[in-house]
Amino acid sequence: MKILDVLQTDTILPNLQARDKKGVLEELVAPVAAYTGIEARQLVRVLMDRERLGSTGIGGGIGIPHGKMERLTSLVLGVGISHQGVDFESLDGRPTRIFFLLMTPENSAGLHLKLLARISRLLKNDLFKEKLLAAADVEAIRAAIAEEERGLED
């Protein structure tokens, strides 16, 4: 499964404004809530519950907040870029700037893990991260992801 197969244009935020973890999550879920019809506060609650288990700020400026929700009928993916960086309680203690949000139905553990792994593989490439950070708009982010995915086998 490719990221662009599930990433909606409306859930890409090229200029996050929030300055803290909860604010970033609220900003990231707003378009997801509109897309799914699930209240944003419910999505944020699921994500904050997951964050209490351990930060999804994996280091290197990357955060992959994720959660499962019974009411979802399909997985939903969002991307956000924070140009100023946010304290996301990252494993390396550094500010987080690139966010991939993943919400999946409760009963889709395999799909959830597969997409998390794919996102993680993409984000190991420093040049790809630089392209995301330099992207001025939604289309530039989509183009960077498309180019990087062409280099990955499914």
Cα–Cα distance measured from residue 21 to residue 32, given in angstroms and rounded to the nearest whole number = 17
User: At 138, which amino acid appears?
Assistant: V
81 vs 37, 86, 103, 108, CA distance in Å? 24, 10, 18, 27
Cα–Cα distance measured from residue 27 to residue 67, given in angstroms and rounded to the nearest whole number = 16
Q: From the candidates 26, 36, 66, 77, which is the catalytic residue?
A: 66
Residues 6+ apart with CB under 8 A from 132: 79, 81, 98, 141, 144
Rounded to two decimals, the pTM is: 0.94
The CATH number of 3-150, from 3.40.930.10, 1.10.730.10, 3.40.190.10, 3.40.50.720, is 3.40.930.10
> How does pLDDT run across 5-20, given as a tens digit for each residue?
999 999 999 999 999 9
The two beta strands, 57-59 and 66-69, are unpaired
Q: Is 66 a catalytic residue?
A: yes
Q: Are 9 and 138 in contact (CB under 8 A)?
A: yes
DSSP-derived 3-state class of residue 29: helix
Query: Which of the four pLDDT bands, split at 50, 70 and 90, describes residue 112?
Result: confident
Mean pLDDT of the chain: 93
The confidence score (pLDDT) of residue 153 equals 60
> How does pLDDT run across 27-65, given as a tens digit for each residue?
999 999 999 999 999 999 999 999 999 999 999 999 999
